[in-house]
Chain A
């Protein structure tokens, strides 16, 4: 069981991912964008961060690079949720310090198997 930070501006995606992770026994804290996520991490420790890329206020790429600047997040797995089939955004994510990515669309099983990879 892990403590997971989930960042996505889409409620439906957040609910679906959150529900799936909780079904698998994980603890999930949700944030709606990068700014909110940075606020949440001040008082919470996480084993994993899952973040959407396209979000208002602060996107997932900037969030990733900001998290990597925080000592307690230097080595934490960060997975980006991306719909891009092109590799550009994945590379942006990698360059910002992301561990890997989960490609949308995905189903609950593939989400969990990807999460299991890094936990």
Chain B
């Protein structure tokens, strides 16, 4: 049967699967310890390589399959104790994994790759496990055509085929072989029944017959042997050539049917472009807005007196919310994908720095929005590099401090409220607060003599232009500072904090929103303007009491909140809003939690809570400091969403300027 199938439709899956295989190989290689041939680990790596080899060949990437074949040979020698496992070998295999990764990426993106690099690794692999004769197995892609290529001259063959009794037990059937042979040329057959037992002794599952056959045509010995290849050990086979005749005659073609039937392929999962999901998400967002408009219209038209209608509306609201949650969950992925990059980085870096470091992960199944996940990778890697570079000490120093030789970096992901928390902790040297403070003062990032808590000093590590390490290493000092880490995380609507104890270690805590598309908002009014505040960071709302305020350094207004003074932000000043005139209406203060600090925002009224769909200002207008975006409210009006974190930073800067002035 001839069937036309485009193999490129499977390429995406092949690449994805191969990248997974690469991750497995990499992580398992990192688990190998020099000197011990852990068969389980080597087998896992072998299987991953083997699987890539097989599929790569089938999908037409022969150089990938050749390359993995070389890796496989080396791995085979490792598991058979022919090759000793040392750091050098592990490093070579790691660079082979890198090369493989590069080849796959360039094939996926249809770009050329650096062949010299790959050849270099390939040559090193081959040196460890030389191939006798041909270095690569011949491509069998065309095997069916090759073998059917007829001999140029007419041949006549005699074949004796005498199966052993148990032939059927291998699932083979003499009839099948005979039929296949028949398709090769002119055919004659005679059964031998000499071995047939008496009827009483006959076992229907045994094969007692033998056959003598004659076949004529442009047929090679290989063609005949191929027909019998599967029954080689299960029968007595004699193939002899009779005479040669020179008369090329059209070989009878096998009756080929080209009837094609389309059948639906079943899928347990389907691949969809993120664009489609985002469009869906956006549409669901519009639906949520329409829903709230509908609620309002219902009130306005006095239809809220109809129980039936209200029940209907409630049902619709429930459905809408569920639809929204389900749609959002499509974009959620477990964080372990992001974690997978880390062991390799730690491995390479600890070798380069002569340190011994162990990485421990927990909470890998915690889910996060795809975009957040993609963007958190770099900051996370930077923090890990930083921990290794500046935190963890060399083994001799660690021992002298009474710590174990091997340092530990722990990475944990967890859910807390509406947030995902990532913690990166190390048991290294911690942050030297005195040095940090001195540097900050020296660079005029903070005024001298200002009372600062230990935590405030430690968090200055995120200030732009502040590097704690005296020597600039090529690892952390790649022109990306901790301020960039912090900014990247803020861009995602998250926060990052550090807590450190000198000599004991540091913990960086990243707090991220679950999604970027939807926000649980507090609707407030300032003057005649409506704002949305992120509900999750609101600590509480207070009635403004003039006697609790304290204005310091010109314009910085502080408000006594419990045992501390929190800075107050007035949106009327910030956004030039005309303040409400009626004096009898008391102002309110919304207190926000920002990391371990608080900040208060003065508003005229708190209207209610509402889930809002964030519309980007950047895409539709331009980015405005202090605002994360805008949204459409139930009555169709536009409200601005406050970027509280941004406001706080902005305020602190003006505050600092005011205090230093």
Q: Which residues of B contact A18 (CB under 8 A)?
A: 265
Q: Give Cα distance in the complex from A15 to B58, angstroms.
A: 12
Q: Which residues from chain B contact A97 at a C-beta distance below 8 Å?
A: 169-171
A23 partner, pick from B44, B58, B260, beta carbons under 8 A: B260
| A35 vs B170: C-alpha distance when bound (angstroms) | 21
| Interface-lining segment among B139-147, B431-439, B528-536 | B139-147
Residue B172 CB within 8 A of the other chain: yes
Judged by a CB distance under 8 angstroms, whether B562 is at the interface is no
A:24-43 near B, CB below 8 Å = 24-25
Provide the main secondary structure of the chain B interface: helix
| B3 lies within 8 A of A75 (CB) | no
Taking a contact as CB atoms under 8 Å apart, the answer to whether A12 and B47 are in contact is no
Determine if A20 and B144 form an interchain contact, defined as CB atoms under 8 angstroms apart.
no
Q: Which A residues touch B230, using CB under 8 A? A: 94, 99-101
Query: In the complex, are the beta carbons of B65 and A94 less than 8 A apart?
Result: no
B143 surroundings in chain A (CB, below 8 A):
103, 106, 110
Flag whether B478 is at the interface (Cβ < 8 A): no
Closest B residue to A100 by beta carbon equals: B230
B3 touches A108 (CB 8 A): yes
Contact of A104 among B46, B47, B54, B168 (CB under 8 A): B54
**Stretch touching chain A among B5-13, B421-429, B629-637:** B5-13
* Residues of A close to B10: CB separation below 8 A: 12, 15-16, 19
- For residue B499, CB closer than 8 A to chain A, the reply is no
CB distance from B483 to the nearest CB of A (A): 43
A residues 61-119 in Cβ contact with B at 8 Å: 68, 74-78, 81, 83, 85, 91, 94, 97-101, 103-110, 112-113, 116-118
For residue B263, CB closer than 8 A to chain A, the reply is yes
Q: Are B58 and A104 in contact (CB under 8 A)?
A: yes
B171 and A99 within 8 A (CB): yes
Q: Are A85 and B55 interface neighbours, CB within 8 A?
A: no
**Is B59 part of the binding interface, using a Cβ–Cβ cutoff of 8 Å?**
yes
A9 touches B169 (CB 8 A): no
In the complex, the answer to whether B140 meets A100 with C-beta atoms within 8 Å is no
Q: Does B574 sit at the interface, judged by CB under 8 A?
A: no
B608 on the interface (CB 8 Å rule)?
no
Contacts of A19 in B (CB 8 A): 5, 9-10, 265
CB distance from B197 to the nearest CB of A (A): 20
User: For the complex, is B50 an interface residue (Cβ under 8 Å from A)?
Assistant: yes
Does B301 touch A at the CB level, under 8 Å? Answer: no
Are B170 and A12 neighbours in the complex by a CB distance under 8 Å? no
Of the residues A81, A98, A110, contact of B144 by C-beta under 8 Å: A110
| Chain A residue contacts of B14, Cβ below 8 A | 12
Task: Report yes or no: A25 in contact with B5, Cβ–Cβ below 8 A.
Answer: no
Range of interface residues on A (Cβ < 8 Å): 35 or more
The reply to whether A113 and B144 form a contact with Cβ atoms under 8 Å apart is yes
CA–CA, A16 and B56, complex, Å: 12
A77 to B170, CA, bound (A): 7
CB-CB under 8 A from B56, the residues of chain A are 105
Identity of the chain A residue whose Cβ is nearest the Cβ of B18 in the assembled complex:
A12
Q: Are B139 and A105 in contact (CB under 8 A)?
A: yes
Q: Indicate if the CB atoms of A22 and B263 lie closer than 8 Å.
A: yes
> A23–B263 contact, CB under 8 A?
yes
Instruction: Verify B233–A94 contact, CB threshold 8 A.
Output: yes
Residues on the B chain within 8 Å of A13, using CB: 51, 54-55, 58
A-chain residues with CB within 8 Å of residue B16 when the two chains form the complex: 11
Q: Which of B58, B137, B171 has the most CB of A within 10 A?
A: B171
How close is A11's CB to chain B, nearest CB, in angstroms?
A: 5
Residues of chain B lying within 8 A (CB to CB) of residue A15: 10, 13, 265
Evaluate contact between A100 and B141: CB separation under 8 angstroms. Answer: no
**B190: CB under 8 A from chain A?**
no
Cβ–Cβ < 8 Å partners of A110 in chain B: 143-144
A112 touching B58 by the CB < 8 A rule?
no
Q: Of B13, B137, B172, B265, which one neighbours A11 at CB under 8 angstroms?
A: B13
Residue of A nearest to B5 (CB): A108
Once A105-B57, A105-B141 are accepted as A-B contacts, the answer to whether A54 and B3 lie under 8 Å apart by CB is no
| A13 to B9 CA separation, bound complex (whole angstroms) | 12
Please report the C-alpha to C-alpha distance between residue A71 and residue B137 in the assembled complex, in whole angstroms.
Answer: 38
B residues less than 8 Å from A81 (CB atoms): 54
B111: interface (CB < 8 Å):
no
B 300-327 binary contact with A (CB < 8 Å = 1; else 0): 0000000000000000000000000000
Residues 233-262 (chain B) with a chain A CB within 8 angstroms: 233, 260-262
* Cross-chain contact B180 with A117 (CB below 8 angstroms): yes
**Chain B contacts with A in 38-76, Cβ cutoff 8 A:** 44, 46-47, 50-51, 53-59, 62, 65
Distance in angstroms between the alpha carbons of A104 and B52 in the assembled complex: 11
Q: Is B2 an interface residue (CB 8 A)?
A: yes
Contact check, A99 vs B170: say whether CB atoms are below 8 A apart: yes
Give chain B residues whose Cβ lies under 8 Å from the Cβ of A68: 169
- Given A103-B143, A106-B140, CB of A24 within 8 Å of CB of B169: no
Point out the residues of chain B lying under 8 angstroms from A74, CB to CB: 169, 205
Max chain A CB contacts within 10 Å: which of B44, B180, B263? B263
B555 within 8 A of A: no
* Chain B residues near A103 (CB-CB < 8 A): 140, 143
- 22 of the cross-chain contacts (CB-CB < 8 Å) are A12-B13, A15-B13, A15-B265, A16-B58, A23-B262, A23-B263, A54-B50, A76-B171, A83-B54, A83-B57, A85-B137, A94-B232, A97-B169, A99-B230, A100-B230, A101-B230, A105-B139, A105-B140, A105-B141, A107-B7, A112-B3, A113-B1
Q: List the 3 shortest-distance A-B pairs measured between CB atoms, nearest first.
A: A105-B57, A99-B171, A100-B230
Known contacts A23-B5, A24-B3, A97-B170; can you find 19 more A-B pairs with CB under 8 A? A10-B17, A10-B54, A11-B13, A13-B54, A13-B55, A16-B10, A19-B9, A23-B263, A74-B205, A81-B54, A83-B50, A99-B172, A105-B54, A105-B65, A105-B141, A106-B58, A113-B1, A116-B1, A118-B172
